[in-house]
C-alpha cells in the first residue's frame, strides 16, 4: 500500500463540520417523525430531503397509509407556521390565497383590506389536492414556484421556509381532477406511499390503539432549516455528474438522441429542466447524508425515480398498455452512461 496522508486531514474541517451538523439535524427530524409514523424509512428520508433542499413533495397512496399523518407529524416536529388546506370541489382560489375584504375603519368609513388565505404559512398541507378543480389547484402555482401570491394589485411574499406537502389518492377517479402538468412539475418529488411491512403493523397497532399515544416535539426551527438549505447548495457538482444528469433528463424526452426506444414509444412529454434541478438538489442531500462533499452519478441515479416519475406524460398507447412511468425512468437510467464523452 502507498503512504497515507497523515499530515493533513482527509477533508476540510469546516466542510466536515457542516456536513456533520446537517446529518445531525436530519437524523433528529427523522427520529421525531418516526415516533408517530412507523416504517417507510426511505419515504421519510425523501420527505426530509425535499424539506432541506427547498422543494415541495407530492405524496400519493391509497387511503389509510398515513400520508396526512406524515405531513402533520413533520409539521409538528418543526417550529413552523402550519396550515392545512382540505381541498374540496367547491374550494375557490380566493379560499387558498386570500381575498380583499371590506373593513370598517376606526375613525369611521370603510377600507379594503387583504385577508391572507391559508397558503400564507411555512408548512402547507394540501390534503387531497386532486379533489379541487384545476382552477383552484392553479392558485398554488405562483406560491409554489415564486414563493409569493398576487391578489388584485398586491403581491405578497410568502414566509421562509415554505414547503407544500400535498397528498392525493390514486384510485378514486370520481369527483377528482388530475393535477395539471404545470402543477405537477412544481413538485420536486412524487413519493408513492406503499403498504407497511408486516413488522411495522405491530408498532402501528401498539402506538395507535393503546392509552399512551406518542407526542411529537418540535426539534428544529425555520432558521435551522434555512441554514441546512444553504449547506445543501454548497455541495459540489462536477461537469461529469452534471452532464450525466442532463443526459438522464434528456433521455426522458422522446426524440432526444439519448432517449431509449421505450421512451420514444411511450412518452408524449418528457421531463423539463426542473427535473435536472431536482436531480441536483436531491443528489446533494444524498451526498451529504453519505458523508461526501460532491454529488456522484450514483446519487443522481438513486433520486431519479422520485424526481422524474411525475414529469413523464405518457401517450395514449402507453396508458392503454398500462405502462408505468417508473419502468420508463429505469429504462432511461439504464441507457445513459456516466462516462464522459
Partner 1 sequence: MSQPLEANSLCAEFESLLSATRGRVHAASVRRRVRRAAERGVRAAVWVAAFVLLLRLLAWLLGQPAVLGVGAAAVLLGLVVLVPVAVAWVRAKAEEPSWREVAERLDLGAGEHNRVAIGLALAGSGVATEFGRAAIRDGIASLRRIRDGVPYLEVAPTCWTRMAGRAAVIGFLILASAWVGTARHRAESAQTGGFVAAGDALRVPGREADSPEAERPGQPVRDRVTDRGQGERGVRAEPTAAAPVRGSHTPAAGRTGGGTVAKAATSERSAQTGGENTQSAATGGTQEKESPKPGKARPAKESRITDRKSKEEAGSGAGVGRGSSGGGSMAAVQHGWSQRAQTAEGKEDEEASDEEVEDEAEESRQRSGIQPSLKDRNESPSRDLGISGEQGPPGTGRGGPTPPKKSRGTASLVLGIPVPDFVRGRLGPGTTKITHERVEPTPMPGEPAQAGPVRPRVGPERPISLVAVPPNLAEAVRDFLIALHSADAQQTEESQPVAPPEGGASQTEESLNP
Site string for partner 1, 22-61 (x = CB under 8 A): ----------------------------------------
Interface residue with partner 1 among 6, 9, 104, 198 (CB under 8 A) is 9
**48 contacts 214 by C-beta, under 8 angstroms:** no
| Using rule CB under 8 A, residue 299 touches partner 1 | yes
Q: How far is the CB of 334 from partner 1 (least distance, A)?
A: 12
- Long-range CB pairs of 98-103, under 8 A, 24+ apart, other chains included: 98/149, 98/151, 99/151, 100/151, 100/152
Three-class SS state of 5: coil
Stretch that binds partner 1, among 71-79, 87-95, 127-135, 331-339 (CB under 8 A): 331-339
Q: Which stretch binds partner 1 (CB under 8 A): 61-69, 91-99, 117-125, 294-302?
A: 294-302
- Specify whether the CB–CB gap between 220 and 27 falls below 8 A: no
- When binding is defined by CB under 8 A, the residue of 236, 317, 321, 327 that contacts partner 1 is 236
When binding is defined by CB under 8 A, the residue of 55, 296, 311, 314 that contacts partner 1 is 296
To partner 1, the closest distance from the beta carbon of 61 in angstroms equals 31
| Strand pairing category for 148-151 and 154-157 | antiparallel
- Please tell me whether residue 79 adopts helix, strand or coil conformation: strand
Contacts of partner 1 in 115-134 (CB under 8 A): none
Give just the sign of the alpha carbon dihedral 306, 81, 68, 207: positive
> Does 292 engage in binding with partner 1 (CB under 8 A)?
yes
User: Counting contacts by CB under 8 A, is residue 235 touching partner 1?
Assistant: yes
11 binds partner 1 (CB under 8 A): yes
Closer by beta carbon to partner 1, 197 or else 236: 236
- Structure-block grid coordinates of residue 211: 392509552
Residue whose C-alpha is closest to residue 218's, from 124, 82, 68, 38: 82
| Residue 241 CB, nearest approach to partner 1 (Å) | 6
Asked whether the beta carbons of 36 and 207 are under 8 A apart, the reply is yes
The one among 201, 294, 324, 334 contacting partner 1 by CB under 8 A: 294
Half-sphere CA count of 280, side-chain side, radius 13 A: 20
Write each residue from 63 to 102 as x if it is in contact with partner 1 (CB under 8 A), else as -, in one continuous string: ----------------------------------------
**From the CA atom positions of the chain, what is the Rg in Å?**
22
**Element housing 259 (H / E):** none
- 339 makes contact with partner 1 (CB under 8 A): yes
CB of 64 to partner 1, least distance (A): 38
Torsion (CA) 120, 124, 129, 135 in degrees, nearest 10: 20
Q: Which residues bind partner 1 (CB under 8 A)?
A: 1-5, 8-12, 14-16, 18, 234-236, 238-241, 287, 290, 292-294, 296-299, 337-340
Amino acid at each position: 500500500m502507498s503512504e497515507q496522508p497523515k499530515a493533513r486531514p482527509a477533508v476540510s474541517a469546516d466542510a466536515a463540520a457542516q456536513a456533520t451538523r446537517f446529518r445531525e439535524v436530519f437524523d433528529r427530524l427523522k427520529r421525531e417523525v418516526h415516533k408517530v409514523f412507523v416504517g417507510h424509512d426511505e419515504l421519510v428520508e425523501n420527505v426530509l430531503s425535499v424539506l432541506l433542499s427547498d422543494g415541495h413533495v407530492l405524496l400519493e397512496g391509497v387511503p389509510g397509509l398515513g400520508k396526512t399523518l406524515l405531513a402533520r407529524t413533520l409539521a409538528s416536529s418543526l417550529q413552523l407556521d402550519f396550515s392545512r388546506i382540505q381541498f374540496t370541489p367547491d374550494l375557490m382560489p380566493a379560499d387558498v390565497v386570500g381575498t380583499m375584504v371590506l373593513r370598517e375603519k376606526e375613525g369611521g368609513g370603510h377600507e379594503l383590506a387583504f385577508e391572507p388565505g391559508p397558503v400564507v404559512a411555512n408548512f402547507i398541507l394540501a390534503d387531497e389536492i386532486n379533489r379541487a378543480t384545476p382552477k383552484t389547484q392553479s392558485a398554488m402555482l405562483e406560491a409554489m414556484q415564486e414563493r409569493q401570491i398576487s391578489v388584485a394589485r398586491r403581491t405578497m411574499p410568502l414566509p421562509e421556509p415554505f414547503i407544500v406537502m400535498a397528498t392525493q389518492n390514486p384510485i378514486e377517479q370520481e369527483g377528482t381532477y388530475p393535477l395539471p402538468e404545470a402543477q405537477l412539475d412544481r413538485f420536486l418529488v412524487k413519493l408513492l406511499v406503499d403498504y407497511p411491512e408486516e413488522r411495522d403493523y405491530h408498532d402501528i397497532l401498539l402506538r395507535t390503539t393503546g392509552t399512551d399515544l406518542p407526542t411529537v416535539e418540535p426539534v428544529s426551527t425555520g432558521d435551522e432549516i434555512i441554514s441546512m438549505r444553504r449547506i445543501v447548495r454548497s455541495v459540489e457538482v462536477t461537469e461529469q455528474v452534471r452532464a450525466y444528469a442532463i443526459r438522464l433528463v434528456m433521455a426522458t424526452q422522446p426524440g432526444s438522441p439519448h432517449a431509449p426506444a421505450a421512451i420514444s414509444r411511450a412518452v408524449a412529454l418528457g421531463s423539463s429542466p426542473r427535473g435536472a434541478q431536482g436531480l441536483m438538489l436531491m443528489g446533494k442531500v444524498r451526498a451529504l447524508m453519505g458523508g461526501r462533499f460532491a454529488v456522484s452519478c450514483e446519487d443522481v441515479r438513486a433520486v431519479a425515480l422520485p424526481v422524474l416519475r411525475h414529469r413523464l406524460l405518457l401517450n395514449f398507447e402507453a396508458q392503454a398498455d398500462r405502462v408505468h412511468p417508473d419502468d420508463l425512468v429505469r429504462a432511461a437510467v439504464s441507457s445513459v452512461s456516466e462516462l464522459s464523452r
